[in-house]
Amino acid sequence: MSAKRDGGYSTLGHEKILKPIVELALEAGRVILGVYATDFAVETKADSSPVTAADQRAEAVILAGLKTLAPDIPVIAEEECAAGRMPATGRTFFLVDPLDGTKEFLARNGEFTVNIALIEDGAPVAGVVYAPALGVLYAGGPEGAFKARVVDGLLAEEARIDVRDAPPALKAVGSRSHGSQETVAWLARFPQVSFVSAGSSLKFCLLAEGAADIYPRFGRTMEWDTAAGDAVLRAAGGLVTTCDGRPLTYNKREQAHDAPFANPHFLAFGDRRLIEAAIAPVPSAATL
């Protein structure tokens, strides 16, 4: 089976592409850990965000692998975009963040990930999130989502994961490095909610495996930051929406109000039944 793209066909359908991109994520993780174990240098990009040799070397590994795997599918990758290299995109393309959570990498807390996602018609249809320092990998595609331990660079203890039904007392997850008072205020709409911090795309994965229920994000993100985690979450039964409840879309290239591939604020849900309550206006004291 092949995935149609702009009048042509890719060499692999998205139901077959998950395993090879898992292997690419594992390979990139080995490169990252090689840098992580050293006294690495940190540079600053034009947008003032940090970058290391780990970001650059991991992206090179992934780009080379994707070119061999699916040469007809364009790739939008974070460091390539930072250098001004953004190929034309059609219905189908890859989104790559070779090291999501560079601040977590610098803090050496292990909560950084390799993110690779396949986008089709604006939606993430397959994705991999790999945390090499934690030895855990999440993946999702047409056949569902799974979590695996990684031992000596190989997958072990693979298990299917699914979102949970939301309990009366919700667990929210948010950014370890980019928290905001707006998030705290928004969560007040729920009568019972606890909060846990996590780095990088692991927040989506906590929802996907039923360890949390909701992830509101009111800070800036780019499509490569979210696509892989979004793919895993959707494969596990959840959904990522804009703040008005519409599914978050990808390939937002021409945006008069923002940079190419920038995301709006969003809400991620395990149990989709939470969406209605999450987007409903909160009554003011004057109307009660």
Q: State the alpha helices, DSSP H only, in 43-171.
A: 53-69, 78-82, 102-107
- Number of other residues whose CB lies within 10 A of the CB of residue 147: 20
**Site of tokens 């290299």:** 85
Q: Is 69 annotated as a binding residue?
A: no
Would you call 72 exposed, middle or buried from its count of C-beta atoms within 10 A (0-12, 13-18, 19+)? middle
Distances (CA, A) of 286 to 282, 283: 11, 8
Q: Is 99 annotated as a binding residue?
A: yes
Distances (CA, A) of 67 to 8, 76, 119: 17, 12, 16
Q: How far apart are CA 118 and CA 123, in angstroms?
A: 8
Q: Is 158 annotated as a binding residue?
A: no
Residues 6+ apart with CB under 8 A from 282: 188, 189
Q: Is 78 annotated as a binding residue?
A: yes
Q: Is 97 annotated as a binding residue?
A: yes
DSSP assigned state of 186? H
Residues 6+ apart with CB under 8 A from 126: 14, 15, 17, 18, 21, 117, 118, 139, 140, 141, 142, 231
**Binding annotation for substrate:** 78, 99-102, 225
**Binding annotation:** 78, 97, 99-102, 225
**Binding annotation for Mg(2+):** 78, 97, 99-100, 225
